[in-house]
Amino acid sequence: MEKSALQIARAAYQPKLPQALKGAVVAKEGAATQSVGNQEEIKALFPNTYGMPVVEFVAGEAKQTEAINVGIILSGGQAPGGHNVISGLYDGVKTLNKDSKLYGFLMGPGGLVDHKYVEFTDEFIDEYRNTGGFDIIGSGRTKLEKVEQFESGIEILRKLGIKALVIIGGDDSNTNACVLAEYYAAKNYGVQVIGCPKTIDGDLKNEQIETSFGFDTACKTYSELIGNIQRDCNSARKYWHFIKLMGRSASHIALECALETQPNVCLISEEIEQKAMSLDEVVCYIANIVAQRAADGNNFGTVLIPEGLIEFIPAIKKLIAELNEVLTDPATGESREFASAEEQIAFVTSNIAADNLAVLNSLPADVKRQLCLDRDPHGNVQVSLIETEKLLSAMVAKKLAEMKEEGKYVGKFSAQHHFFGYEGRCAAPSNYDADYCYSLGFNASRLIASGKTGYMSVIKNTTAPAAEWIAGGVPITMMMNIERRNGQNKPVIRKALVELEGAPFKFFASKREEWARETAYVYPGPIQYFGPTEVCDQCTKTLALEQGK
Amino acid sequence: MEKSALQIARAAYQPKLPQALKGAVVAKEGAATQSVGNQEEIKALFPNTYGMPVVEFVAGEAKQTEAINVGIILSGGQAPGGHNVISGLYDGVKTLNKDSKLYGFLMGPGGLVDHKYVEFTDEFIDEYRNTGGFDIIGSGRTKLEKVEQFESGIEILRKLGIKALVIIGGDDSNTNACVLAEYYAAKNYGVQVIGCPKTIDGDLKNEQIETSFGFDTACKTYSELIGNIQRDCNSARKYWHFIKLMGRSASHIALECALETQPNVCLISEEIEQKAMSLDEVVCYIANIVAQRAADGNNFGTVLIPEGLIEFIPAIKKLIAELNEVLTDPATGESREFASAEEQIAFVTSNIAADNLAVLNSLPADVKRQLCLDRDPHGNVQVSLIETEKLLSAMVAKKLAEMKEEGKYVGKFSAQHHFFGYEGRCAAPSNYDADYCYSLGFNASRLIASGKTGYMSVIKNTTAPAAEWIAGGVPITMMMNIERRNGQNKPVIRKALVELEGAPFKFFASKREEWARETAYVYPGPIQYFGPTEVCDQCTKTLALEQGK
């Protein structure tokens, strides 16, 4: 395998561990816990894993530990640092007992169900230390939620003598990890299940979890690119760059990137929803900033757009809901068939409510066409195919033309478009993510050795130097409540959206008028692994603000 | 001005200089030179600047130099390192005599003509050392080619007492620098003109110029992103990523990125033109690799596409030429007007030759529509609006569907698209570009002190450590020949396309079958400024191969 110079140099990095995990530990247990909502229902659903205490590891007496076999699964989308969770867990179980074994299930939870796995060795692990990606064993989106899957899983776990399973995933995967933990506990199968908080979107965080891993590296990679674009923008002084950023349901990435780069505009979906803004209002908001800058002679700028924006605009959400409905035949529940695209468009436009039709007609022709035509296999509008960045810039251009006629805008408007997602999901982890992930994995081995199940591996106080980080575990049930999903009440970990009352948004809101008018761009540059600590070891601005740093 | 931690730390970097430039120098002159082609015509056009010797600086005796006022202009598209050329020149003229002054003309060559300028100071220069972008004074695309411009320029140069002008630009801008040098020499205006080789496209290089600045940083930034995408691709194992890279006329960027990242497919426009491949042949080439990988169970991969590809496919080039013609009214020379888009499409399709119509009809509907409709202000097809990456993936999908019916393909094909250009043009320069640019600027001050005009600042032997670099100057006329441009014979610096007989392409060609079949991805990671020298101080693979390293 040919490697870049950086791959080779970075492999030698020894991730930092919390002081508490450097020697023998003992689990200091807190009081019994409760779920964040729907306590009675959650308790009833998780009789064996509900109410357990929060755990913190402190220095303990060294003692002989038996060899233990552990399995690990990567679940869902890639996030930088996954390989370090695995290498941390590997080193963790080996320090417990050198005869311990770590198995990886291939291509996500499906590997457990289908009995596809590998055993890790020193050489194998060493190839992947401090690297990005999930290619070490692959990931997948199979959801572990059925008894048949759990039963199929226990077969291979027994065959391999695996006593504990670590599942690395987002809110859904960790919810399922808990369901699995509960099932195996109820059946007395003797297999512990531990979760690890992952998602570049940053929407798995709460009182117990400071941040999900990968968010730091992904945001820094996007911010590097946004900074480069801003420098170009500020040099050429002739384009408005509309930059869409990954993150379907929460705008944490857009907000963090705005805090790092100080763009002229950053839209926050949660605010747009709360204010019930119309698409026209969003367009006017941007157009007014463009006009204001043009009045100062600055016909250039940057606009950050969260990927999920369109679904947070109430009028569009309503339109999409009706579009999803109208193309389904209520008699059969199947998608309606049409002889031609034109016939389909005619059917749609003559069958939706007047207010929705008005919204549809306000959209650029190609977006309107796409909404009427393109459907996923379930007959739903393919929201992810909407190029929101182009939609917005086209509508802003139209609005500016109107404003020009009214004498409210004098300037030139020319737009460039970007969408960043895959560019950052598999970047090599920053020092923060490399250390955090390694610690999460190492810590998981200590939760296993302490006999815990239904816990999430948790590392706190990460705005301090790594030695001062606090390691422990939190019962997954503690983070749950009941939500309606696909027409059913389900126990889930509450997704963390951007808090409009939180410090990161409030700081942004206090600055954005200045950033809009001035050209106050910051250029973060690429992630550095070897330089001075103030360059290499910073956490996200979001986390620093949340922690009052 | 708020700055990132990296901006602050990087400002302190002291770029490396060639040993020869560290002390007093003397210009060692070679024999008289000739232009690379059309010697008699070039000589006639440049009687005062033709035939001058190549110059190399060697250690000389220190002597008192008079203060000198110098002007600098950034011309054309941004490239990483422009600010370092300026800081190198600034430090260079100040070491000649501390009372020397450096002026920057604003927003490109237009600043000279319109008399818009700033004077640099220590504090001002220090804000921009080792940063990306051209925002220090801005750039522009005004072409310096008319006598009125030259005369307007001399007014302000005289007013400011400027004795030498440095123009940082690509092949066209350097050609114009030489025309200006010749004009001022012929008029005995006493102003020297020196050029500096810039372009991220890498197409300004020849026997005398090893590389144009910015190419290194831009390619490394794109390669970081391609590597991240490849890691994602290799983890998720479900997408083919079609990645278009900036570079309209030459494929150097795509080739360099391929050498750095080892993708499954990289198209080289120059090869496609030489082989006179049809679009269908290009599509088949990709589709066959997709099918081959699918047969191995690998339904994922990466395809690098040079931005200018479409114009190198002879059949498409011919189609575009006729499209440009057919929509112009020969009677008036103006664009024809149509009542509707449909009428325009009907007119086009019924008025182009049968072979061109066949090519047009082979294209996806939206591309066909765009080619028939969208025109720039001169009535020409807007080739740059063609999303080649989407065009190719759509046609590959269609081809694979046919192959599936014939039993020649078993797999799933799902594509993602990317276009990288603005993401890299203003990145903070790599150590290589920071050192190379600083040396180019510093060296320009020595050319000025030696009384040279019509020279390009040249630094050679850059695959060796910076101390061993060779500094000097090359008469711009030496790089010229006569080419047909816009219906006129013009003296120009020959653009360097990818040489199919050159070592970089040959190395790539020897490896590409293996890279197509295997998953041999390399992950370069982000540019590092502080780490070990083998990580931080590498030149491009292209240059290393060209120099036999």
Minimal CA–CA distance to B254: which of B309, B304, B203? B304
The average confidence (pLDDT) of chain B is 94
Q: Which residues of B touch A231 (CB under 8 A)?
A: 78, 131-133, 135, 426-427
Residues 6+ apart with CB under 8 A from A205: A197, A211, A212, A496
Strands A470-475 and A455-460: antiparallel
* Active-site pick, B91, B171, B172, B201: B201
CB atoms inside a 10 Å sphere around CB A122:
10
ipTM: 0.96
A-contacting residues in B 260-299 (Cβ below 8 Å): 260, 262
CB-based burial, B407-433: b 16+ in 10 Å, e otherwise: eebebebebbbbbbbbbbbbbbbbbbb
Cβ–Cβ under 8 Å, residues B245 and B304:
yes
What was the pLDDT predicted at A173?
94
Residue B496, SS3 per DSSP: coil
- pLDDT attached to residue A203: 92
Q: pLDDT tens digits, residue range B7-30?
A: 999 999 999 999 999 999 999 999
| Separation CA B373–CA B351 (nearest Å) | 14
Residues 111-140 of A with CB under 8 A from B: 131-135, 138-139
Is the pLDDT at B380 greater than 80, yes or no?
A: no
| Helices and strands, number each (H, E), in chain A | 22, 15
Joined together, the tokens standing for residue B27 give 């210009």
- Rounded CA separation B492/B178 (Å): 10
CA of residue A159 relative to chain centroid, distance: 34
Residue written as tokens 């203060």? B67
Please confirm, yes or no, whether A329 is among the known catalytic residues. Answer: no
pLDDT value at B333 more than 80: no
Task: List the pLDDT tens digit at each of the 549 positions of chain A.
Answer: 799 999 999 999 999 999 999 999 999 999 999 999 999 999 999 999 999 999 999 999 988 889 999 999 999 999 999 999 999 999 999 999 999 999 999 999 999 999 999 999 999 999 999 999 999 999 999 999 999 999 999 999 999 999 999 999 999 999 999 999 999 999 999 999 999 999 999 999 998 999 999 999 999 999 999 999 999 999 999 999 999 999 888 999 999 999 999 999 999 999 999 999 999 999 999 999 999 999 999 999 999 999 999 989 999 999 988 988 888 887 877 778 888 888 888 999 999 999 999 999 999 888 888 888 877 766 778 877 889 999 999 999 999 999 999 999 999 999 999 999 999 999 999 999 999 999 999 999 999 999 999 999 999 999 999 999 999 999 999 999 999 877 788 999 988 999 999 999 999 999 999 999 999 999 999 999 998 999 999 999 999 999 998
Interface test with A, best of B3, B6, B139 (most A CBs within 10 A): B6
Catalytic residue, candidates A201, A203, A216, A435: A201
Q: Which of residues 219-238 of A touch B (CB under 8 A)?
A: 221, 224-225, 227-229, 231-237
- The whole-number average pLDDT for the span B278-296 is 97
- Measured CA to CA, the distance from residue B60 to residue A355 in angstroms comes to 82
Nearest to A4 among B229, B520, B523 (CB): B523
Minimal-distance CA residue of chain A relative to B533: A5
Q: What is the mean pLDDT of residues B306-322?
A: 91
Residues A87-104, buried b or exposed e (16+ Cβ, 10 A)?
bbbbbbbbbbeeebbbbb
List, as ranges, residues 159-198 from B with C-beta within 8 Å of A.
Answer: none
Q: In the prediction, which pLDDT does A484 show?
A: 84
Q: Quick one: which of A55, A52, A115, A120 has its CA closest to A86?
A: A120
Taking CB atoms and an 8 Å cutoff, what residues of chain A touch B523? 3-4, 6-7, 131-133, 428
For residue A133, which residues of chain B lie inside 8 Å, CB to CB?
231-232, 234-235, 523
**Arithmetic mean of pLDDT, B188-197:** 97
- Burial string for B225-253 (b: 16+ CB within 10 Å, else e) reads bbbbbbbbbbbbbebbbbbbbbbebbbbb
How far is Cα B283 from Cα B313, in angstroms, rounded to an integer? 12
Q: How far is residue B155's CA from residue B160's CA, in Å, rounded to a whole number?
A: 9
Instruction: Give the strand pairing for A192-197 and A455-460.
Output: parallel
pTM of the model: 0.96
User: Does B231 sit within 8 Å of A131, measured CB to CB?
Assistant: yes
Judge whether residue B165 has pLDDT over 90.
yes
Q: What is the pLDDT of residue B336?
A: 82
- Distance CA(A27)–CA(A45), nearest Å, equals 26
Mean per-residue pLDDT for B482-501?
Answer: 90
Spatial separation of the C-alpha atoms in residues B137 and B128, rounded to whole Å: 11
The predicted pLDDT at position B64 comes to 85
- What is the SS3 string spanning A70-103? EEEEEECCCCCCHHHHHHHHHHHHHHHCCCCEEE
Nearest residue on chain A to B140, alpha-carbon basis: A236
